[in-house]
Amino acid sequence: MTTLTTSETGGDVRLSGISKTYDNGFTAVRPLDLTVPQGSFFALLGASGCGKTTTLRMIAGLEDPTTGTVHLGDQDVTSLPPYKRPVNTVFQSYALFPHLDIYENVAFGLRRRGIKSVKKQVEEMLDLVQLGEQIRKKPQQLSGGQQQRVAVARALINHPKVLLLDEPLGALDLKLRRQMQLELKRIQTEVGITFVHVTHDQEEAMTMADTVAVMNAGGVEQLGAPTDLYENPGSTFVANFLGTSNFIEAEIAGRTGDDLTLKAGGDKLVLPTSRNSARTTATGDKLLLGVRPEKISLTHADDAGEIPGGRNRITGKISDSSFIGVSTQYVIDSPLCDAFEVYAQNIERDSRLAPGAEVVLHWNPAHTFGLDATQDVD
Ligand code: ATP
Protein backbone atom coordinates (compact mmCIF):
# COMPACT_ATOMS: atom_id res chain seq x y z
CA MET A 1 0.00 0.00 0.00
CA THR A 2 1.27 3.48 -0.87
CA THR A 3 0.41 5.92 1.85
CA LEU A 4 1.79 9.43 1.79
CA THR A 5 3.00 11.03 4.98
CA THR A 6 1.25 14.14 6.34
CA SER A 7 4.05 16.42 5.17
CA GLU A 8 3.42 15.22 1.65
CA THR A 9 -0.29 15.98 1.64
CA GLY A 10 0.05 19.79 1.50
CA GLY A 11 -2.53 22.16 2.91
CA ASP A 12 -5.96 23.37 1.86
CA VAL A 13 -6.44 24.63 -1.68
CA ARG A 14 -7.69 28.20 -1.31
CA LEU A 15 -9.17 30.19 -4.16
CA SER A 16 -9.64 33.86 -3.27
CA GLY A 17 -11.58 36.18 -5.53
CA ILE A 18 -10.69 34.02 -8.48
CA SER A 19 -12.35 34.75 -11.81
CA LYS A 20 -11.82 34.11 -15.48
CA THR A 21 -12.83 36.27 -18.40
CA TYR A 22 -11.63 34.82 -21.70
CA ASP A 23 -10.10 36.96 -24.46
CA ASN A 24 -13.45 37.12 -26.25
CA GLY A 25 -14.89 38.93 -23.21
CA PHE A 26 -16.86 35.94 -21.91
CA THR A 27 -16.76 35.52 -18.13
CA ALA A 28 -16.67 31.78 -17.43
CA VAL A 29 -16.00 32.13 -13.70
CA ARG A 30 -17.23 35.06 -11.62
CA PRO A 31 -15.07 36.09 -8.65
CA LEU A 32 -15.34 33.27 -6.15
CA ASP A 33 -13.83 32.18 -2.86
CA LEU A 34 -13.50 28.48 -2.29
CA THR A 35 -11.55 26.36 0.17
CA VAL A 36 -10.90 22.72 -0.58
CA PRO A 37 -9.92 21.08 2.71
CA GLN A 38 -6.67 19.14 2.69
CA GLY A 39 -7.19 15.44 2.21
CA SER A 40 -10.80 15.77 1.10
CA PHE A 41 -12.52 14.33 -1.92
CA PHE A 42 -14.04 17.49 -3.33
CA ALA A 43 -16.42 17.64 -6.30
CA LEU A 44 -17.15 20.59 -8.56
CA LEU A 45 -20.62 19.73 -9.83
CA GLY A 46 -22.66 21.54 -12.42
CA ALA A 47 -24.20 21.53 -15.87
CA SER A 48 -22.13 21.88 -18.99
CA GLY A 49 -20.64 25.35 -19.38
CA CYS A 50 -21.00 26.46 -15.73
CA GLY A 51 -17.24 26.97 -15.30
CA LYS A 52 -16.12 23.77 -13.56
CA THR A 53 -13.27 22.95 -15.93
CA THR A 54 -12.09 26.55 -16.03
CA THR A 55 -11.91 26.56 -12.22
CA LEU A 56 -10.00 23.27 -12.22
CA ARG A 57 -7.59 24.54 -14.88
CA MET A 58 -6.85 27.62 -12.79
CA ILE A 59 -5.89 25.36 -9.87
CA ALA A 60 -3.68 23.35 -12.23
CA GLY A 61 -2.05 26.48 -13.66
CA LEU A 62 -3.31 25.65 -17.14
CA GLU A 63 -5.36 28.85 -17.21
CA ASP A 64 -4.34 32.24 -15.81
CA PRO A 65 -7.01 33.76 -13.58
CA THR A 66 -8.23 37.22 -14.56
CA THR A 67 -8.46 38.16 -10.88
CA GLY A 68 -7.68 36.46 -7.61
CA THR A 69 -5.18 34.04 -6.15
CA VAL A 70 -4.65 30.31 -5.72
CA HIS A 71 -2.97 29.11 -2.55
CA LEU A 72 -1.86 25.66 -1.62
CA GLY A 73 -1.45 25.70 2.12
CA ASP A 74 0.65 28.78 2.80
CA GLN A 75 2.11 28.91 -0.68
CA ASP A 76 0.75 31.35 -3.26
CA VAL A 77 0.98 29.35 -6.49
CA THR A 78 -0.94 31.82 -8.69
CA SER A 79 2.00 32.70 -10.86
CA LEU A 80 3.66 29.28 -10.91
CA PRO A 81 3.55 27.34 -14.20
CA PRO A 82 1.75 23.98 -14.05
CA TYR A 83 4.90 21.85 -13.82
CA LYS A 84 6.08 23.76 -10.74
CA ARG A 85 2.83 23.19 -8.84
CA PRO A 86 2.53 20.12 -6.64
CA VAL A 87 -0.59 19.24 -8.56
CA ASN A 88 -1.40 16.75 -11.29
CA THR A 89 -4.40 16.28 -13.56
CA VAL A 90 -6.26 13.25 -14.91
CA PHE A 91 -8.31 13.96 -18.02
CA GLN A 92 -11.31 12.19 -19.49
CA SER A 93 -9.23 11.22 -22.51
CA TYR A 94 -6.67 9.31 -20.33
CA ALA A 95 -3.82 10.83 -22.44
CA LEU A 96 -1.69 7.67 -22.17
CA PHE A 97 1.26 7.10 -24.50
CA PRO A 98 0.07 4.40 -26.95
CA HIS A 99 3.56 3.17 -27.84
CA LEU A 100 4.60 2.62 -24.21
CA ASP A 101 3.44 -0.31 -22.10
CA ILE A 102 1.63 0.23 -18.82
CA TYR A 103 4.80 0.02 -16.75
CA GLU A 104 6.55 2.66 -18.84
CA ASN A 105 3.49 4.91 -18.91
CA VAL A 106 3.46 4.95 -15.12
CA ALA A 107 7.26 5.26 -14.87
CA PHE A 108 7.29 8.22 -17.25
CA GLY A 109 7.02 10.97 -14.64
CA LEU A 110 9.88 9.53 -12.61
CA ARG A 111 12.16 8.98 -15.61
CA ARG A 112 11.53 12.54 -16.79
CA ARG A 113 12.83 13.75 -13.44
CA GLY A 114 15.96 11.68 -14.04
CA ILE A 115 15.14 9.03 -11.45
CA LYS A 116 16.83 5.76 -12.44
CA SER A 117 15.50 3.31 -9.96
CA VAL A 118 11.77 3.34 -10.55
CA LYS A 119 10.74 -0.31 -10.16
CA LYS A 120 9.57 -0.24 -6.56
CA GLN A 121 7.51 2.91 -6.96
CA VAL A 122 5.93 1.85 -10.25
CA GLU A 123 4.97 -1.53 -8.82
CA GLU A 124 3.50 0.10 -5.73
CA MET A 125 1.43 2.43 -7.87
CA LEU A 126 0.20 -0.37 -10.11
CA ASP A 127 -0.74 -2.35 -7.00
CA LEU A 128 -2.58 0.68 -5.67
CA VAL A 129 -4.75 0.81 -8.79
CA GLN A 130 -4.90 -3.01 -8.89
CA LEU A 131 -3.19 -3.42 -12.23
CA GLY A 132 -0.10 -5.28 -11.07
CA GLU A 133 -0.77 -8.11 -13.54
CA GLN A 134 -1.03 -5.93 -16.63
CA ILE A 135 2.32 -4.19 -16.67
CA ARG A 136 3.52 -5.30 -20.09
CA LYS A 137 0.30 -4.58 -21.95
CA LYS A 138 -0.12 -1.55 -24.16
CA PRO A 139 -2.92 0.90 -23.29
CA GLN A 140 -5.10 -0.20 -26.22
CA GLN A 141 -5.14 -3.76 -24.81
CA LEU A 142 -6.90 -2.56 -21.67
CA SER A 143 -10.53 -1.65 -21.04
CA GLY A 144 -11.50 2.01 -20.61
CA GLY A 145 -11.70 1.60 -16.83
CA GLN A 146 -8.25 -0.01 -16.70
CA GLN A 147 -6.77 2.73 -18.87
CA GLN A 148 -8.21 5.34 -16.56
CA ARG A 149 -6.60 3.55 -13.58
CA VAL A 150 -3.25 3.70 -15.40
CA ALA A 151 -3.80 7.42 -15.89
CA VAL A 152 -4.45 7.78 -12.16
CA ALA A 153 -1.32 5.78 -11.27
CA ARG A 154 0.72 7.89 -13.68
CA ALA A 155 -0.63 11.09 -12.17
CA LEU A 156 0.06 9.94 -8.60
CA ILE A 157 3.58 8.62 -9.08
CA ASN A 158 5.22 11.98 -8.48
CA HIS A 159 3.30 12.33 -5.22
CA PRO A 160 1.31 15.47 -6.03
CA LYS A 161 -0.37 17.18 -3.10
CA VAL A 162 -3.55 17.59 -5.09
CA LEU A 163 -4.98 15.39 -7.82
CA LEU A 164 -7.34 17.14 -10.22
CA LEU A 165 -9.78 14.94 -12.14
CA ASP A 166 -11.62 16.44 -15.11
CA GLU A 167 -14.66 14.26 -15.89
CA PRO A 168 -12.37 11.22 -15.63
CA LEU A 169 -15.22 8.73 -15.96
CA GLY A 170 -17.11 10.50 -18.71
CA ALA A 171 -16.06 8.06 -21.44
CA LEU A 172 -17.07 4.93 -19.52
CA ASP A 173 -20.37 3.10 -19.66
CA LEU A 174 -22.64 3.27 -16.64
CA LYS A 175 -21.60 -0.02 -15.02
CA LEU A 176 -17.90 0.69 -15.34
CA ARG A 177 -18.43 4.25 -14.19
CA ARG A 178 -20.05 3.02 -10.98
CA GLN A 179 -17.17 0.59 -10.37
CA MET A 180 -14.61 3.32 -10.99
CA GLN A 181 -16.40 5.73 -8.65
CA LEU A 182 -15.84 3.30 -5.78
CA GLU A 183 -12.33 2.57 -7.00
CA LEU A 184 -11.32 6.24 -7.09
CA LYS A 185 -12.80 6.77 -3.65
CA ARG A 186 -10.77 3.82 -2.32
CA ILE A 187 -7.58 5.15 -3.92
CA GLN A 188 -8.15 8.62 -2.49
CA THR A 189 -8.72 7.20 0.99
CA GLU A 190 -5.57 5.13 0.66
CA VAL A 191 -3.24 7.91 -0.52
CA GLY A 192 -4.90 10.58 1.64
CA ILE A 193 -4.21 13.54 -0.66
CA THR A 194 -6.79 16.05 -1.87
CA PHE A 195 -8.81 15.03 -4.93
CA VAL A 196 -10.75 17.71 -6.83
CA HIS A 197 -13.16 16.02 -9.17
CA VAL A 198 -15.14 17.77 -11.92
CA THR A 199 -18.41 16.17 -12.95
CA HIS A 200 -21.84 17.05 -14.29
CA ASP A 201 -23.28 13.85 -12.79
CA GLN A 202 -24.94 14.52 -9.43
CA GLU A 203 -25.03 10.85 -8.47
CA GLU A 204 -21.29 10.58 -9.12
CA ALA A 205 -20.54 13.64 -7.00
CA MET A 206 -22.78 12.43 -4.19
CA THR A 207 -21.27 8.92 -4.21
CA MET A 208 -17.65 9.99 -4.13
CA ALA A 209 -17.22 13.39 -2.57
CA ASP A 210 -16.97 14.50 1.06
CA THR A 211 -17.78 18.02 -0.06
CA VAL A 212 -19.61 19.15 -3.19
CA ALA A 213 -19.59 22.65 -4.68
CA VAL A 214 -22.63 23.05 -6.90
CA MET A 215 -21.73 25.51 -9.65
CA ASN A 216 -24.13 27.57 -11.73
CA ALA A 217 -23.36 30.24 -14.32
CA GLY A 218 -19.75 30.76 -13.27
CA GLY A 219 -20.35 30.84 -9.51
CA VAL A 220 -20.70 28.46 -6.60
CA GLU A 221 -24.39 28.18 -5.80
CA GLN A 222 -23.94 26.06 -2.66
CA LEU A 223 -21.23 24.07 -0.97
CA GLY A 224 -21.62 21.26 1.51
CA ALA A 225 -21.61 17.59 2.33
CA PRO A 226 -23.78 15.58 -0.10
CA THR A 227 -26.47 14.82 2.50
CA ASP A 228 -26.63 18.48 3.58
CA LEU A 229 -27.04 19.64 0.01
CA TYR A 230 -29.73 17.08 -0.62
CA GLU A 231 -31.63 17.67 2.58
CA ASN A 232 -31.03 21.40 2.93
CA PRO A 233 -30.76 22.87 -0.55
CA GLY A 234 -30.46 26.63 -0.38
CA SER A 235 -32.15 27.30 -3.71
CA THR A 236 -34.56 25.69 -6.14
CA PHE A 237 -31.62 25.28 -8.53
CA VAL A 238 -29.72 23.07 -6.08
CA ALA A 239 -32.89 21.24 -5.02
CA ASN A 240 -33.65 20.38 -8.66
CA PHE A 241 -30.07 19.65 -9.67
CA LEU A 242 -29.66 17.11 -6.87
CA GLY A 243 -32.88 15.22 -7.42
CA THR A 244 -36.56 15.92 -7.53
CA SER A 245 -38.39 18.19 -5.21
CA ASN A 246 -41.94 19.34 -4.66
CA PHE A 247 -42.50 23.00 -3.97
CA ILE A 248 -45.41 24.60 -2.16
CA GLU A 249 -46.03 28.33 -1.92
CA ALA A 250 -46.90 29.25 1.64
CA GLU A 251 -47.32 32.27 3.87
CA ILE A 252 -45.75 32.61 7.29
CA ALA A 253 -48.52 32.59 9.91
CA GLY A 254 -46.38 32.74 13.04
CA ARG A 255 -43.78 31.02 15.12
CA THR A 256 -44.04 28.38 17.82
CA GLY A 257 -40.78 27.60 19.62
CA ASP A 258 -38.28 26.42 17.00
CA ASP A 259 -40.91 26.08 14.28
CA LEU A 260 -42.49 28.42 11.80
CA THR A 261 -46.15 27.77 11.09
CA LEU A 262 -47.35 28.46 7.59
CA LYS A 263 -50.58 28.66 5.66
CA ALA A 264 -50.80 27.00 2.29
CA GLY A 265 -54.31 27.12 0.85
CA GLY A 266 -56.46 25.86 3.71
CA ASP A 267 -53.67 23.73 5.17
CA LYS A 268 -51.39 24.54 8.05
CA LEU A 269 -47.78 23.39 7.64
CA VAL A 270 -44.79 23.45 9.94
CA LEU A 271 -41.17 24.27 9.06
CA PRO A 272 -38.35 23.95 11.62
CA THR A 273 -36.51 27.30 11.63
CA SER A 274 -33.21 25.37 11.35
CA ARG A 275 -34.30 24.23 7.88
CA ASN A 276 -35.29 27.66 6.62
CA SER A 277 -32.80 29.09 4.08
CA ALA A 278 -35.06 31.99 3.20
CA ARG A 279 -34.06 35.43 4.41
CA THR A 280 -37.37 36.10 6.10
CA THR A 281 -39.24 34.71 9.08
CA ALA A 282 -41.73 37.59 9.28
CA THR A 283 -45.43 36.85 9.62
CA GLY A 284 -47.26 37.53 6.37
CA ASP A 285 -44.18 36.97 4.16
CA LYS A 286 -44.19 34.28 1.51
CA LEU A 287 -41.91 31.24 1.50
CA LEU A 288 -41.38 28.36 -0.85
CA LEU A 289 -41.53 25.06 1.00
CA GLY A 290 -39.80 22.04 -0.43
CA VAL A 291 -40.12 18.36 0.35
CA ARG A 292 -38.44 15.42 -1.36
CA PRO A 293 -40.92 12.97 -2.88
CA GLU A 294 -39.59 9.94 -1.04
CA LYS A 295 -40.21 11.62 2.31
CA ILE A 296 -43.96 11.72 1.67
CA SER A 297 -46.44 9.04 2.68
CA LEU A 298 -49.73 8.57 0.99
CA THR A 299 -52.95 7.59 2.76
CA HIS A 300 -56.35 7.11 1.19
CA ALA A 301 -58.67 9.93 2.28
CA ASP A 302 -61.02 7.39 3.90
CA ASP A 303 -58.24 6.43 6.33
CA ALA A 304 -57.11 10.00 7.08
CA GLY A 305 -58.10 9.56 10.74
CA GLU A 306 -55.29 7.03 11.17
CA ILE A 307 -52.54 9.51 10.29
CA PRO A 308 -50.52 10.28 13.42
CA GLY A 309 -50.63 13.85 14.71
CA GLY A 310 -47.77 16.28 14.23
CA ARG A 311 -47.26 15.57 10.53
CA ASN A 312 -47.51 18.07 7.71
CA ARG A 313 -50.46 17.10 5.56
CA ILE A 314 -52.15 18.26 2.40
CA THR A 315 -54.87 16.73 0.31
CA GLY A 316 -54.86 15.78 -3.35
CA LYS A 317 -56.05 13.34 -5.97
CA ILE A 318 -53.93 10.70 -7.69
CA SER A 319 -53.59 11.51 -11.37
CA ASP A 320 -51.07 8.84 -12.31
CA SER A 321 -49.17 5.94 -10.80
CA SER A 322 -46.39 3.73 -12.06
CA PHE A 323 -44.81 0.74 -10.42
CA ILE A 324 -41.04 1.08 -10.75
CA GLY A 325 -39.81 -2.06 -9.02
CA VAL A 326 -38.82 -1.22 -5.47
CA SER A 327 -41.43 1.47 -5.19
CA THR A 328 -44.44 3.05 -6.79
CA GLN A 329 -44.35 6.56 -8.12
CA TYR A 330 -47.53 8.61 -7.87
CA VAL A 331 -48.38 11.93 -9.41
CA ILE A 332 -50.89 13.88 -7.38
CA ASP A 333 -53.07 16.80 -8.37
CA SER A 334 -53.12 19.21 -5.51
CA PRO A 335 -54.44 22.75 -5.47
CA LEU A 336 -51.11 23.73 -3.85
CA CYS A 337 -48.84 22.37 -6.49
CA ASP A 338 -49.01 21.69 -10.25
CA ALA A 339 -47.99 18.04 -10.18
CA PHE A 340 -46.94 16.77 -6.83
CA GLU A 341 -44.67 13.78 -7.31
CA VAL A 342 -44.67 11.09 -4.66
CA TYR A 343 -42.49 8.04 -4.53
CA ALA A 344 -44.19 5.81 -2.03
CA GLN A 345 -42.01 3.02 -0.73
CA ASN A 346 -42.70 0.06 1.51
CA ILE A 347 -46.38 0.75 1.73
CA GLU A 348 -48.69 -2.18 1.59
CA ARG A 349 -50.06 -2.48 -1.86
CA ASP A 350 -53.40 -0.70 -1.48
CA SER A 351 -55.56 -1.22 -4.56
CA ARG A 352 -57.53 1.90 -3.67
CA LEU A 353 -54.42 4.03 -4.36
CA ALA A 354 -55.17 4.32 -8.04
CA PRO A 355 -55.74 7.27 -10.37
CA GLY A 356 -58.79 9.22 -9.29
CA ALA A 357 -58.44 8.38 -5.58
CA GLU A 358 -58.61 11.19 -3.04
CA VAL A 359 -55.56 11.01 -0.79
CA VAL A 360 -53.76 12.74 2.03
CA LEU A 361 -50.04 13.39 1.59
CA HIS A 362 -48.22 13.60 4.89
CA TRP A 363 -44.65 13.86 6.10
CA ASN A 364 -42.52 14.67 9.09
CA PRO A 365 -42.13 18.48 9.27
CA ALA A 366 -38.38 17.95 9.83
CA HIS A 367 -38.16 16.92 6.16
CA THR A 368 -39.48 20.28 4.96
CA PHE A 369 -37.05 22.95 3.78
CA GLY A 370 -37.79 26.63 3.29
CA LEU A 371 -36.54 28.82 0.44
CA ASP A 372 -36.98 32.41 -0.70
CA ALA A 373 -40.28 32.66 -2.54
CA THR A 374 -38.84 34.77 -5.34
CA GLN A 375 -37.23 31.88 -7.23
CA ASP A 376 -38.34 29.91 -10.26
CA VAL A 377 -39.30 26.39 -9.32
CA ASP A 378 -38.35 24.82 -12.67
P1 ATP B 1 -18.20 21.26 -19.63
O2 ATP B 1 -18.65 20.20 -18.68
O3 ATP B 1 -19.05 21.36 -20.84
O4 ATP B 1 -16.73 21.25 -19.90
P5 ATP B 1 -17.71 23.33 -17.69
O6 ATP B 1 -18.66 23.61 -16.60
O7 ATP B 1 -16.49 22.58 -17.36
O8 ATP B 1 -18.49 22.63 -18.86
P9 ATP B 1 -15.98 25.31 -18.82
O10 ATP B 1 -15.28 24.36 -19.71
O11 ATP B 1 -15.28 25.83 -17.63
O12 ATP B 1 -17.38 24.72 -18.34
O13 ATP B 1 -16.49 26.52 -19.70
C14 ATP B 1 -17.27 27.58 -19.14
C15 ATP B 1 -17.69 28.51 -20.25
O16 ATP B 1 -16.53 29.15 -20.77
C17 ATP B 1 -18.35 27.80 -21.42
O18 ATP B 1 -19.41 28.61 -21.86
C19 ATP B 1 -17.27 27.73 -22.45
O20 ATP B 1 -17.80 27.78 -23.75
C21 ATP B 1 -16.45 28.98 -22.17
N22 ATP B 1 -15.04 28.81 -22.52
C23 ATP B 1 -14.22 27.80 -22.15
N24 ATP B 1 -12.99 27.96 -22.67
C25 ATP B 1 -13.02 29.12 -23.39
C26 ATP B 1 -12.07 29.85 -24.17
N27 ATP B 1 -10.81 29.42 -24.29
N28 ATP B 1 -12.48 30.99 -24.76
C29 ATP B 1 -13.75 31.43 -24.61
N30 ATP B 1 -14.70 30.80 -23.90
C31 ATP B 1 -14.35 29.66 -23.29
- In 258-367, the DSSP E strands lie at 259-264, 267-272, 286-291, 297-300, 312-323, 327-334, 337-345, 358-363
Full DSSP string of 51-112: SHHHHHHHHHTSS--SEEEEEETTEE-TTS-GGGSSEEEEETT----TTS-HHHHHHHHHHH
State the number of CA atoms in the 13 A half-sphere of 91 facing the CB: 8
- CA distances (Å), origin 349, targets 90, 128, 173, 332, 362: 48, 48, 35, 17, 18
At 6 the pLDDT is 40
**pLDDT confidence bin for 7, thresholds 50/70/90:** very low
**Ligand 1 centroid distance, CA of 237 (Å):** 20
Give tens-digit pLDDT for 203-249.
Answer: 999 999 999 999 999 999 999 999 999 999 999 999 999 988 899 99
Closest ligand 1 atom to the C-alpha of 56? 11
Q: What is the ipTM of this complex?
A: 0.95
**Ligand 1 centroid distance, CA of 63 (Å):** 12
Cβ < 6 Å from ligand 1: which residues?
A: 22, 24, 26, 28, 46, 48-54, 200
The best mutation among 21, 30, 44, 53 to test binding of ligand 1, ranked by most ligand atoms within 8 Å of the C-beta, falls on: 53
| Alpha-carbon span 359 to 150, nearest angstrom | 55
Nearest to 292 by CA among 333, 345, 251, 254: 345
Give tens-digit pLDDT for 38-96.
Answer: 999 999 999 999 999 999 999 999 999 999 999 999 999 999 999 999 999 998 887 89
Nearest to 314 by CA among 255, 249, 253, 375: 249
- Give domain 6-231's CATH superfamily: P-loop containing nucleotide triphosphate hydrolases (3.40.50.300)
DSSP conformation class of 260: E
| Alpha-carbon span 96 to 218, nearest angstrom | 31
At 2 the pLDDT is 46
Burial of 7 (0-12, 13-18, 19+ CB in 10 A): exposed
**Ligand 1 centroid distance, CA of 16 (Å):** 20
The best mutation among 24, 30, 54 to test binding of ligand 1, ranked by most ligand atoms within 8 Å of the C-beta, falls on: 54
Give tens-digit pLDDT for 301-357.
Answer: 999 999 999 999 999 999 999 888 888 899 999 887 767 788 877 677 788 999 999
Closest ligand 1 atom to the C-alpha of 46? 6
pLDDT for 1 beyond 50 = no
**Domain 247-372 sits in CATH 1.10.3720.10:** no
At 173 the pLDDT is 86
Q: What is the chain's mean pLDDT, rounded? A: 91
Give the residue whose CA is nearest to atom 1 of ligand 1: 48
Per-domain residue ranges of the chain = 6-231, 247-372
pLDDT for 145 beyond 90 = no
Give the residue whose CA is nearest to atom 21 of ligand 1: 28
Give tens-digit pLDDT for 166-198.
Answer: 998 888 888 888 988 999 999 999 999 999 999
Give tens-digit pLDDT for 20-33.
Answer: 999 999 999 999 99
Nearby residues of 255 by Cβ (< 8 Å), 6 or more positions away: 261, 273, 281, 283
